[in-house]
Amino acid sequence: MRHQLKSEGLTAARRLGVFAALRFVRRRQAVVLAYHGVLTRSRAASAYLDYNFIPADVFDLQIAHLKQHYHPISLSEFVASRAAGRQLPPRAVLVTFDDGFANNWHVAYPILRAHGVPFAVFLATGLIGADAQLWSERASRAVYLSDRSRVSIDLRGRRRQFDLSTPQLREQASRAIVAFLKRLDPAGRERHLASIEQAFGRRALSVAERERYDFLTWNDVREMARAGVEFGSHTVTHPILSTLDMATLERELVDSKQQIEDQLGIPCPTFAYPNGGAGDFGPREQRAVRDAGYRCAFALLGGLVGGTADPYALERVNIGRDFNEPMVEAAAAGVLGWGSKIRRVVTRSSRRLPDPAAPEVEYVL
C-alpha cells in the first residue's frame, strides 16, 4: 500500500511538471545512478530476489529518458572535471553498475551502446571469474527459496523462529537475516551464513538463473575496457566496511584496487562503498579509502552531487526493479534522496546491530 501511494504521488508530481522544474533548478548538480543488473526477461516469481535487476525493455526506456533529458558523461570525465574544479555540463548524468555481474556486458552494454551512453562498473574483484555468489545473495536465496514452513535458528546466541508459510513471510525473514548478517564481521558472518544455509537449505543455481547470478570474467572485463567501459573498485569480498577491523579494511581496499590495475594496466582511482547507506561508512572508512590511493568514493544515499560535495561521500541513486517512469524521474531529480538524508542523520551516530526478528526497510547490495 505504501509503495502504491508513493507511486501515485510521484505520478501526480510528474503530471504537474514538478520533476521538469527540478531538472532546471538542479541542473548544475550531477546525477549518478547505481544499477546492479539487467535481465533479458522479467522473472515475475522472483520479484524479491531480483529487486536490483531491471528487465531489458524497462532499462531501455530508462536510458532513452536519460538521453533525452540529461547529458550523459563518463566516469573519467566526472572525476577529471571535479579534480580540476571545472563545472560539469548542465544536467550531467553518470550511469554506474555495482558488483560486476555478467549481464552488465551481455545485456546492459548493447542497450547503452545503442543510446550512446557511457557507463562504469564497480567490481567486487574476488567474485570476478569465480563460480560464486555474493554472501548477501546466498542468504537471501537460502531463506526465500526454502521448502521449510518454519525454521528455528540460533543467531548470535538468540534462538529465532521464522514462519515461512507465505512468500511475504519468507521475504520478511530474508530481509531480517540479511540485515543481521550485514552488521557482523566477516568471520562471524561466514559462521552464521553456514548455519543459515544448513537450516533453510541451499538450492543450487539452475541454468535459467545464470543470467541473473553469473559474474564477469577477467577476459570480459578486459574486452569491456577495450570497448570503452570504465571500472572502479567495490572491494574484494563485498563486506560492509564499518564492520571491519583496520587491517582487513585496508586489505579490501588495496587488494581490489591492485587487482583491477594489474588486469587492465591502468590506474583505478574510484571506489564504491558496498551497500553504501547510512552507517555503512564514516570518517574512518573515508580516510582509509583516501589513504589507499582512491581519488573519490561513491555512496548510495539517494541525492545529487554538487560542486562542493565531499569526494569520499559522493551521492548516488539506486534504481530498483520496481521503479516505474515517475520513480526514475523522481530519483534523477534527487527527490528520493530526501528520506535517505533524514535516515542518515538519525543512524549516523549509532551503528546498532539490527534485531533479526524485525524486517529491514531497505535492501541494497
Indicate whether 198 pLDDT > 70. Answer: yes
What pLDDT is attached to residue 41?
Answer: 80
Indicate whether 18 pLDDT > 70. Answer: no
3-class state of residue 206 by DSSP: coil
If you classify domain 2-38+54-125+215-348 with CATH, what class do you get?
Answer: alpha beta
How many Cα atoms are found within 13 Å in the side-chain-facing hemisphere of 163?
A: 6
Amino acid at 211: E
| DSSP H or E stretch at residue 161 | strand 158-163
Indicate whether 361 pLDDT > 70. Answer: no
pLDDT in tens, 284-307: 999 999 999 999 999 999 899 998
Distance CA 342, CA 338 (A): 7
Mean pLDDT of the 274-281 span: 93
Mean pLDDT (the chain) is 88
pLDDT confidence of 3, banded at 50, 70, 90? low
What pLDDT is attached to residue 26?
Answer: 63
Indicate whether 351 pLDDT > 90. Answer: no
Where do the domains of the chain lie? 2-38+54-125+215-348
What pLDDT is attached to residue 343?
Answer: 47
> In sequence order, what are the beta bridge partners of 314?
298
Phi first, then psi, for residue 96 (nearest 5°) are -130, 160
CA angle 3, 209, 215 (to 5 degrees): 95
Residues 6+ apart with CB under 8 A from 72: 66, 92, 93, 94, 95, 116, 117, 118
Residue of 162, 354, 161 whose CA lies nearest to 275 = 354
